[in-house]
Amino acid sequence: MINTYLDSAVLIFIYMNLIFLLALWKRDNSIVDIGWGPGFALVAWWMHIYYPHLYSWLPATLVSIWGLRLAIYIGRRNARKGGEDWRYAKWREEWGKWVIPRAYLQVFLLQGFFMWIIALPMMQRPAGVGLEWYQWAGVALWLAGFLWETIADWQLARFKLRPENEGRLMMYGLWRLSRHPNYFGEIVLWWGLWLLMLPYGLWYISLFSPLSITWLLVRVSGVPMLERRYEGNLVYEAYQKRTPALAPKMGKWKPGAKKT
């Protein structure tokens, strides 16, 4: 089992260094966000190729679908905006002459570390001849989270494409039910993947995967970072009071409700 952890760590280290070199060439550290999803797919297929099993293709396929969809979405979003994402541009300005070493350590290697933690369920070696009912429940949970995240991203992208929405806040569709439905879907799908891989290897180690992605999105780089961006915005503050941050408040769902 230890070999799978070490193999994956080396693979991720090499992958993140290649992404870092590409970012240096493009002078755009936000490229790391595009490479985030495909990095997990790389680990998953590595496991499938070198530690194959009857069902090892399943987590690899699920992660690849998620990773490819996310990379395409972020790539298109960044292309529409043009230039480096505002978060990385702000850090570039703050770090000044130390931007290269700090970006390497605090962006690329740090994300590589969290990639390794979150990818832990995929490093388990599948065993047995079939899937238990709770593993199929994990697949269903992954699908629900993936669809929730995908629909939320699609609704947001469509909203931002309309010129009349310039400067306005997205508060419709799934965004009417929670302020960050895309993050909610992301958390749900990783818990589903953990459940799928539950009977393989050391489940209590792979548990760090869904716990980490939940902590990151709820406490660190997800909700808090975006919420701080709208501090002092009275419209957003009103939106905060009536709308939960992550878990949807289904009582707010009103089919056919008009935009106000």
Mean pLDDT of 119-139: 85
CB 63 within 8 A of CB 48: no
Closest CA to 142 of 58, 208, 206: 58
Write down which residue in 76, 100, 128 finishes a domain.
128
- Full-model pTM: 0.89
Are residues 143 and 111 part of one domain? no
Q: Find where tokens 């298109």 sit.
A: 76
pLDDT tens column, 74-116: 999 988 888 888 889 989 999 999 999 999 999 999 999 999 9
Are residues 139 and 152 part of one domain? yes
Are residues 235 and 144 part of one domain? yes
Are residues 259 and 135 part of one domain? yes
CB 182 within 8 A of CB 152: yes
Are residues 146 and 161 part of one domain? yes
- Structure tokens that stand for 136 in this block: 């199929």
pLDDT tens column, 43-71: 999 988 988 777 888 999 999 999 999 99
DSSP state string for 80-127 = HH-SS-HHHHHHHHHHGGGHHHHHIIIIIIHHHHHHHHHTGGGGS---
Mean pLDDT of 123-133: 77
Are residues 95 and 181 part of one domain? no
Total domains in the chain come to 2
What percentage of the chain has pLDDT greater than the value 90? 70
Supply the DSSP symbol for 1.
-
pLDDT of residue 1: 58
Are residues 66 and 79 part of one domain? yes
Write down which residue in 128, 159, 180 finishes a domain.
128
Supply the DSSP symbol for 251.
G
CB 43 within 8 A of CB 121: no
Are residues 105 and 88 part of one domain? yes
pLDDT of residue 166: 87
pLDDT of residue 51: 81
pLDDT tens column, 174-204: 999 999 999 999 999 999 999 999 888 788 9
Are residues 138 and 243 part of one domain? yes
Least-confidence region, from 57-66, 204-213, 227-236: 227-236
Write down which residue in 78, 104, 128 finishes a domain.
128
Are residues 258 and 143 part of one domain? yes
Are residues 141 and 86 part of one domain? no
Are residues 104 and 24 part of one domain? yes
Residue 79: domain span: 1-128
Q: Find where tokens 């009275």 sit.
A: 234
User: Is pLDDT larger for residue 129 or for residue 43?
Assistant: 43
